[in-house]
Protein backbone atom coordinates (compact mmCIF):
# COMPACT_ATOMS: atom_id res chain seq x y z
CA UNK A 1 0.00 0.00 0.00
CA UNK A 2 2.98 2.30 0.56
CA UNK A 3 1.15 4.45 3.14
CA UNK A 4 1.36 4.74 6.89
CA UNK A 5 -1.45 2.68 8.32
CA UNK A 6 -0.46 2.89 11.96
CA UNK A 7 -1.86 5.43 14.37
CA UNK A 8 0.28 8.51 14.88
CA UNK A 9 1.81 9.47 18.17
CA UNK A 10 2.79 13.02 17.32
CA UNK A 11 1.76 16.03 19.31
CA UNK A 12 -0.19 17.49 16.42
CA UNK A 13 -3.15 15.69 14.88
CA UNK A 14 -2.04 12.80 12.59
CA UNK A 15 0.90 12.94 10.17
CA UNK A 16 3.58 14.37 12.39
CA UNK A 17 3.47 17.83 10.78
CA UNK A 18 2.67 20.72 13.09
CA UNK A 19 -0.60 21.50 11.35
CA UNK A 20 -1.96 25.01 11.86
CA UNK A 21 -5.25 24.67 10.05
CA UNK A 22 -6.93 21.29 10.43
CA UNK A 23 -10.25 20.51 8.79
CA UNK A 24 -12.33 17.38 9.40
CA UNK A 25 -14.47 16.08 6.55
CA UNK A 26 -17.09 13.47 7.43
CA UNK A 27 -19.43 11.08 5.67
CA UNK A 28 -22.12 8.58 6.57
CA UNK A 29 -19.56 6.14 8.07
CA UNK A 30 -19.08 8.28 11.18
CA UNK A 31 -22.76 7.86 12.05
CA UNK A 32 -23.16 4.10 11.53
CA UNK A 33 -21.87 3.63 15.10
CA UNK A 34 -24.84 5.79 16.15
CA UNK A 35 -27.23 3.40 14.41
CA UNK A 36 -27.79 5.31 11.16
CA UNK A 37 -27.09 3.09 8.14
CA UNK A 38 -24.70 4.48 5.54
CA UNK A 39 -25.54 4.81 1.89
CA UNK A 40 -24.47 1.39 0.84
CA UNK A 41 -25.58 -0.82 3.75
CA UNK A 42 -27.80 -3.64 2.51
CA UNK A 43 -31.34 -3.44 3.87
CA UNK A 44 -31.03 0.24 4.79
CA UNK A 45 -33.78 2.63 3.82
CA UNK A 46 -31.54 3.97 1.05
CA UNK A 47 -31.30 0.61 -0.70
CA UNK A 48 -34.96 -0.24 -0.17
CA UNK A 49 -36.51 2.64 -2.08
CA UNK A 50 -35.99 4.18 -5.48
CA UNK A 51 -34.52 7.69 -5.61
CA UNK A 52 -36.98 10.55 -5.98
CA UNK A 53 -35.15 13.14 -8.06
CA UNK A 54 -35.54 16.82 -7.35
CA UNK A 55 -37.31 17.68 -10.60
CA UNK A 56 -39.88 14.92 -9.99
CA UNK A 57 -40.43 16.21 -6.49
CA UNK A 58 -41.06 19.70 -7.85
CA UNK A 59 -43.58 18.75 -10.48
CA UNK A 60 -45.43 15.66 -9.16
CA UNK A 61 -47.69 15.40 -6.11
CA UNK A 62 -47.28 11.61 -6.27
CA UNK A 63 -43.49 11.90 -6.15
CA UNK A 64 -43.78 14.26 -3.16
CA UNK A 65 -45.88 11.67 -1.35
CA UNK A 66 -43.35 8.93 -2.14
CA UNK A 67 -40.54 11.17 -0.89
CA UNK A 68 -42.34 11.92 2.38
CA UNK A 69 -42.99 8.20 2.92
CA UNK A 70 -39.28 7.44 2.54
CA UNK A 71 -38.17 10.32 4.71
CA UNK A 72 -40.68 9.47 7.41
CA UNK A 73 -39.28 5.95 7.63
CA UNK A 74 -35.68 7.21 7.67
CA UNK A 75 -36.63 9.70 10.37
CA UNK A 76 -37.08 6.90 12.91
CA UNK A 77 -33.33 6.16 12.82
CA UNK A 78 -32.38 9.85 12.88
CA UNK A 79 -34.67 10.76 15.76
CA UNK A 80 -33.34 7.97 17.98
CA UNK A 81 -29.66 8.52 17.17
CA UNK A 82 -27.15 10.04 19.53
CA UNK A 83 -23.62 11.22 18.78
CA UNK A 84 -20.89 8.62 19.30
CA UNK A 85 -17.28 8.92 20.43
CA UNK A 86 -16.27 9.98 16.91
CA UNK A 87 -18.58 13.02 16.84
CA UNK A 88 -17.65 13.83 20.44
CA UNK A 89 -13.91 13.69 19.78
CA UNK A 90 -14.19 16.05 16.80
CA UNK A 91 -16.29 18.49 18.86
CA UNK A 92 -13.68 18.37 21.63
CA UNK A 93 -10.89 19.13 19.17
CA UNK A 94 -12.78 22.16 17.88
CA UNK A 95 -13.40 23.42 21.41
CA UNK A 96 -9.69 23.11 22.17
CA UNK A 97 -8.84 25.04 19.00
CA UNK A 98 -7.22 22.04 17.32
CA UNK A 99 -9.56 21.99 14.34
CA UNK A 100 -11.13 24.81 12.37
CA UNK A 101 -14.44 23.04 11.86
CA UNK A 102 -16.25 20.16 10.24
CA UNK A 103 -17.34 19.80 6.65
CA UNK A 104 -19.96 17.08 6.50
CA UNK A 105 -21.94 15.25 3.87
CA UNK A 106 -24.22 14.02 6.62
CA UNK A 107 -27.74 15.28 7.09
CA UNK A 108 -28.26 13.84 10.57
CA UNK A 109 -27.20 16.86 12.67
CA UNK A 110 -25.14 14.69 15.05
CA UNK A 111 -22.05 16.90 14.90
CA UNK A 112 -24.01 19.85 16.27
CA UNK A 113 -25.66 17.70 18.94
CA UNK A 114 -22.16 16.57 19.97
CA UNK A 115 -21.17 20.23 20.39
CA UNK A 116 -19.42 21.12 17.12
CA UNK A 117 -20.00 24.81 16.38
CA UNK A 118 -18.65 25.40 12.92
CA UNK A 119 -20.28 22.75 10.75
CA UNK A 120 -20.66 23.11 7.00
CA UNK A 121 -23.51 20.83 5.90
CA UNK A 122 -22.90 20.24 2.22
CA UNK A 123 -26.08 18.23 1.77
CA UNK A 124 -28.28 20.20 4.15
CA UNK A 125 -30.08 18.83 7.18
CA UNK A 126 -32.87 16.31 7.73
CA UNK A 127 -33.67 18.01 11.04
CA UNK A 128 -35.54 20.78 9.26
CA UNK A 129 -38.14 21.20 6.56
CA UNK A 130 -38.14 24.04 4.07
CA UNK A 131 -40.74 25.46 1.70
CA UNK A 132 -39.58 25.46 -1.91
CA UNK A 133 -41.94 28.32 -2.67
CA UNK A 134 -41.27 30.84 0.12
CA UNK A 135 -38.16 29.58 2.01
CA UNK A 136 -40.06 29.10 5.31
CA UNK A 137 -38.12 26.71 7.58
CA UNK A 138 -39.19 24.70 10.63
CA UNK A 139 -38.10 21.69 12.70
CA UNK A 140 -39.01 18.43 11.00
CA UNK A 141 -40.51 16.43 13.90
CA UNK A 142 -44.07 17.83 14.06
CA UNK A 143 -44.43 17.61 10.29
CA UNK A 144 -43.33 13.98 10.23
CA UNK A 145 -45.91 13.25 12.93
CA UNK A 146 -48.53 15.08 10.86
CA UNK A 147 -47.66 13.04 7.75
CA UNK A 148 -47.79 9.80 9.73
CA UNK A 149 -51.23 10.64 11.10
CA UNK A 150 -52.84 11.98 7.93
CA UNK A 151 -50.84 10.23 5.19
CA UNK A 152 -50.96 13.58 3.39
CA UNK A 153 -47.95 15.69 2.47
CA UNK A 154 -48.03 18.78 4.71
CA UNK A 155 -48.39 22.16 3.01
CA UNK A 156 -46.57 25.34 3.97
CA UNK A 157 -48.43 27.24 6.70
CA UNK A 158 -46.67 30.46 5.70
CA UNK A 159 -47.58 30.77 2.01
CA UNK A 160 -50.59 28.45 2.09
CA UNK A 161 -49.89 25.69 -0.39
CA UNK A 162 -46.12 25.76 -0.84
CA UNK A 163 -44.23 22.49 -1.37
CA UNK A 164 -42.53 21.37 1.83
CA UNK A 165 -39.37 19.33 1.55
CA UNK A 166 -36.72 18.21 4.02
CA UNK A 167 -33.90 20.75 4.01
CA UNK A 168 -31.55 18.25 2.41
CA UNK A 169 -30.03 18.27 -1.05
CA UNK A 170 -31.81 15.72 -3.25
CA UNK A 171 -30.31 14.05 -6.28
CA UNK A 172 -30.53 16.58 -9.10
CA UNK A 173 -30.62 19.54 -6.70
CA UNK A 174 -27.70 21.98 -6.52
CA UNK A 175 -25.59 22.17 -3.39
CA UNK A 176 -25.88 25.37 -1.33
CA UNK A 177 -23.39 27.62 -3.09
CA UNK A 178 -22.18 29.64 -0.13
CA UNK A 179 -21.59 26.53 1.99
CA UNK A 180 -19.73 24.82 -0.83
CA UNK A 181 -17.57 27.90 -1.42
CA UNK A 182 -16.67 28.20 2.26
CA UNK A 183 -15.85 24.49 2.44
CA UNK A 184 -13.65 24.80 -0.63
CA UNK A 185 -11.84 27.75 0.91
CA UNK A 186 -11.28 25.85 4.17
CA UNK A 187 -9.77 22.94 2.24
CA UNK A 188 -7.49 25.18 0.18
CA UNK A 189 -6.24 26.84 3.38
CA UNK A 190 -5.89 23.61 5.39
CA UNK A 191 -2.52 22.05 5.96
CA UNK A 192 -4.23 18.90 7.21
CA UNK A 193 -7.55 17.38 6.16
CA UNK A 194 -8.84 14.33 8.02
CA UNK A 195 -11.68 12.54 6.26
CA UNK A 196 -13.76 10.20 8.38
CA UNK A 197 -16.24 7.57 7.16
CA UNK A 198 -16.68 8.62 3.57
CA UNK A 199 -16.34 6.50 0.46
CA UNK A 200 -15.25 9.74 -1.26
CA UNK A 201 -17.04 8.85 -4.46
CA UNK A 202 -19.93 11.34 -4.21
CA UNK A 203 -19.09 14.56 -6.08
CA UNK A 204 -18.78 17.49 -5.82
CA UNK A 205 -18.30 16.82 -2.07
CA UNK A 206 -15.39 14.40 -2.56
CA UNK A 207 -13.63 17.01 -4.69
CA UNK A 208 -13.06 19.15 -1.58
CA UNK A 209 -10.44 17.01 0.23
CA UNK A 210 -8.96 16.31 -3.17
CA UNK A 211 -8.61 20.06 -3.84
CA UNK A 212 -7.06 20.52 -0.38
CA UNK A 213 -4.48 17.85 -1.08
CA UNK A 214 -3.65 19.28 -4.49
CA UNK A 215 -3.09 22.71 -2.99
CA UNK A 216 -0.51 21.36 -0.55
CA UNK A 217 -2.44 20.01 2.45
CA UNK A 218 -1.80 16.59 3.95
CA UNK A 219 -4.66 14.12 3.61
CA UNK A 220 -5.49 11.49 6.24
CA UNK A 221 -8.29 9.01 5.54
CA UNK A 222 -10.08 7.09 8.28
CA UNK A 223 -12.37 4.49 6.73
CA UNK A 224 -13.26 0.82 7.03
CA UNK A 225 -13.12 0.20 3.29
CA UNK A 226 -11.28 1.58 0.30
CA UNK A 227 -12.11 5.12 -0.77
CA UNK A 228 -11.93 7.05 -4.01
CA UNK A 229 -8.91 9.03 -2.74
CA UNK A 230 -6.73 6.25 -1.25
CA UNK A 231 -4.23 6.74 -4.06
CA UNK A 232 -3.42 10.34 -3.11
CA UNK A 233 -3.68 10.08 0.69
CA UNK A 234 -0.68 10.66 2.96
CA UNK A 235 -2.02 8.28 5.60
CA UNK A 236 -4.70 5.59 5.66
CA UNK A 237 -6.23 4.53 8.94
CA UNK A 238 -8.43 1.51 8.34
CA UNK A 239 -11.12 0.36 10.75
CA UNK A 240 -13.79 1.92 12.95
CA UNK A 241 -14.15 5.72 12.81
CA UNK A 242 -14.95 5.98 16.51
CA UNK A 243 -12.04 3.78 17.61
CA UNK A 244 -9.58 5.55 15.31
CA UNK A 245 -10.57 9.04 16.48
CA UNK A 246 -10.48 7.99 20.13
CA UNK A 247 -7.03 6.44 19.61
CA UNK A 248 -5.68 9.59 17.95
CA UNK A 249 -7.12 11.66 20.77
CA UNK A 250 -5.48 9.43 23.38
CA UNK A 251 -2.16 9.79 21.57
CA UNK A 252 -2.25 13.59 21.53
P1 LIG B 1 -21.01 6.30 1.87
O2 LIG B 1 -22.14 5.45 2.34
O3 LIG B 1 -20.76 6.42 0.42
O4 LIG B 1 -19.64 5.81 2.54
C5 LIG B 1 -19.54 5.55 3.90
C6 LIG B 1 -18.17 4.91 4.10
O7 LIG B 1 -18.00 4.74 5.49
C8 LIG B 1 -18.01 3.55 3.43
O9 LIG B 1 -16.83 3.53 2.67
C10 LIG B 1 -17.95 2.56 4.62
O11 LIG B 1 -17.01 1.53 4.37
C12 LIG B 1 -17.46 3.45 5.74
N13 LIG B 1 -17.94 3.09 7.05
C14 LIG B 1 -19.22 2.79 7.43
N15 LIG B 1 -19.28 2.61 8.76
C16 LIG B 1 -18.01 2.77 9.22
C17 LIG B 1 -17.43 2.71 10.51
N18 LIG B 1 -18.16 2.46 11.60
N19 LIG B 1 -16.08 2.94 10.63
C20 LIG B 1 -15.33 3.20 9.53
N21 LIG B 1 -15.83 3.28 8.29
C22 LIG B 1 -17.15 3.07 8.14
O23 LIG B 1 -21.23 7.70 2.56
P24 LIG B 1 -20.81 9.14 2.09
O25 LIG B 1 -19.43 9.09 1.54
O26 LIG B 1 -21.14 10.03 3.21
O27 LIG B 1 -21.82 9.45 0.88
C28 LIG B 1 -23.17 9.03 0.94
C29 LIG B 1 -24.22 10.11 0.77
O30 LIG B 1 -25.40 9.72 1.47
C31 LIG B 1 -23.84 11.43 1.35
O32 LIG B 1 -24.11 12.34 0.36
C33 LIG B 1 -24.76 11.67 2.55
O34 LIG B 1 -25.36 12.95 2.43
C35 LIG B 1 -25.85 10.65 2.44
N36 LIG B 1 -26.12 9.90 3.71
C37 LIG B 1 -26.07 10.54 4.91
C38 LIG B 1 -26.30 9.83 6.09
C39 LIG B 1 -26.25 10.55 7.42
O40 LIG B 1 -26.51 11.74 7.48
N41 LIG B 1 -25.88 9.86 8.52
C42 LIG B 1 -26.57 8.46 6.04
C43 LIG B 1 -26.61 7.83 4.79
C44 LIG B 1 -26.36 8.57 3.62
ZN1 LIG C 1 -44.18 28.57 1.79
Domain boundaries, the chain: 1-35+83-123+175-252, 37-80+124-168
pLDDT along the chain (252 residues), means of 10: 43 56 96 87 67 96 97 89 98 96 97 98 97 96 96 96 96 95 97 96 93 96 95 96 96 86
User: The pTM is what?
Assistant: 0.92
Q: What are phi and psi of 63, to 5 degrees?
A: -65, -35
**Secondary structure string (H, E, C) spanning the chain:** CCCECCCCCCCCCCCCCCCCCEEEEECHHHCHHHCCCCCCCCCCHHHHCCCCCHHHHHHCHHHHHHHHHHHHHHHHHHHHCCCCHHHHHHHHHHHCCCCCEEEECCCCCHHHHHCCCCEEECCEEEEEEEECCCCCEEECHHHHHHHHHHCCCCECCCCCCCEEEEEECCCCCCCCHHHHHHHHHHHHHCCEEEEECCCCCCCCCCHHHHHHHHCCCEEEEEECCCCCCHHHCCEEEECCHHHHHHHHHHHC
Architecture of domain 37-80+124-168: 2-Layer Sandwich (3.30)
Rounded to whole angstroms, the Cα distance separating 217 from 234 reads: 10
Give the separation between CA 35 and CA 38, rounded to whole angstroms: 9
CATH among 3.40.80.10, 3.40.50.1220, 3.30.2320.50, 1.10.10.2120 for 1-35+83-123+175-252: 3.40.50.1220
**How close is the Cα of 223 to the center of ligand 1, in Å?**
9
Q: What is the pLDDT of residue 11?
A: 38
Hey, whose CA ends up nearest to atom 14 of ligand 1?
A: 29
Specify the pLDDT at position 233: 97
User: Tell me, what's the pLDDT at 45?
Assistant: 58
Reading phi first (left if > 0) and then psi (alpha if -120 to 50, else beta), residue 150 is in alpha
- From the CA of 155, the nearest ligand is 2
- pLDDT of 49 reads 80
The pLDDT assigned to 176 comes to 94
**What is the pLDDT, as a whole number, of residue 77?**
82
What pLDDT sits at residue 43? 58
> What's the pLDDT at 2?
43
Q: Check pocket membership of 36 for ligand 1, CB cut-off 6 A.
A: yes
65 is catalytic: no
CA 109 – ligand 1 centroid, Å: 14
- Confirm or reject: Cβ of 33 under 6 Å from ligand 1: yes
Q: 167: CA distance to ligand 2 center in Å?
A: 13
User: Ligand 1: does its nearest atom lie under 6 Å from the Cβ of 101?
Assistant: no
Amino acid sequence: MGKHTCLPTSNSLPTGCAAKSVVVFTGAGISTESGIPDFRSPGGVWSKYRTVYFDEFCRSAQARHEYWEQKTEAHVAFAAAEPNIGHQTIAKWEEKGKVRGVITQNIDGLHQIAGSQDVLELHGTAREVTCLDCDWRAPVDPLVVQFRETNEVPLCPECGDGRLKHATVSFGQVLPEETLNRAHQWCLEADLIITVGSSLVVYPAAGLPEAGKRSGGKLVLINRDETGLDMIADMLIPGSCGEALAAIDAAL
